[in-house]
Amino acid sequence: MASPTLSESGSHITSDIGTKGTVTDMKWHLDHVQLACPPGGEELARRFYGDLLGMSEIAKPPELAKRGGCWFRRDSLEVHVGVDDPFTPATKAHPGIAVPDLDELSASLEAAGHTVVWDRGQTIPGRDRLHTNDPFGNRIEFIQD
């Protein structure tokens, strides 16, 4: 497969991806979301993703466990929190997680001291959602399912 290339003018990216076969008949699903934390952030991750969001910590494969971090699962959603040094929070890129009760989640987040920013269908008509940050400043969006 050829790599995407930037045009001579630098105005657009071209690629032959999708021109030499198709994957349209494949069924895809999101396996996990990777977020970062600074070195030593695992306990804060456990309190936020485990205790507050009710996700279960799952064991990392031994070779990956050597790198630090921790993984969590709830239903079919997995969040992998990896150690990044130097660390920079993801303040724009973010996972969008569908939940059955945004109001209940918002109350839990706020009671734990997290700021919640609501968007009740203003930006995306018919889609209630909220944004918050994990303890490391990574942006997370929750969407009413």
pLDDT class of 68 with cuts at 50, 70, 90: very high
- Average model confidence (pLDDT) for the chain? 90
20 CB neighbour count, 10 Å cutoff? 8
pLDDT (tens digit, 9 = 90+) per residue, 92-139? 999 999 999 999 999 999 999 999 999 998 999 999 999 999 999 999
Percentage, residues of the chain above pLDDT 90:
79
Question: Does domain 30-144 sit in CATH 3.90.650.10?
Answer: no
Of 140, 118, 106, the residue nearest 33 (C-alpha): 140
d(CA 141, CA 92): 10
21-30, 85-94, 117-126: lowest mean pLDDT where?
A: 21-30
In angstroms, rounded to a whole number, what is the distance separating the alpha carbons of residues 78 and 80?
Answer: 6
Domain limits, the chain: 30-144
pTM over 0.95: no
C-alpha to C-alpha distance for 17 and 19, rounded to whole angstroms = 6
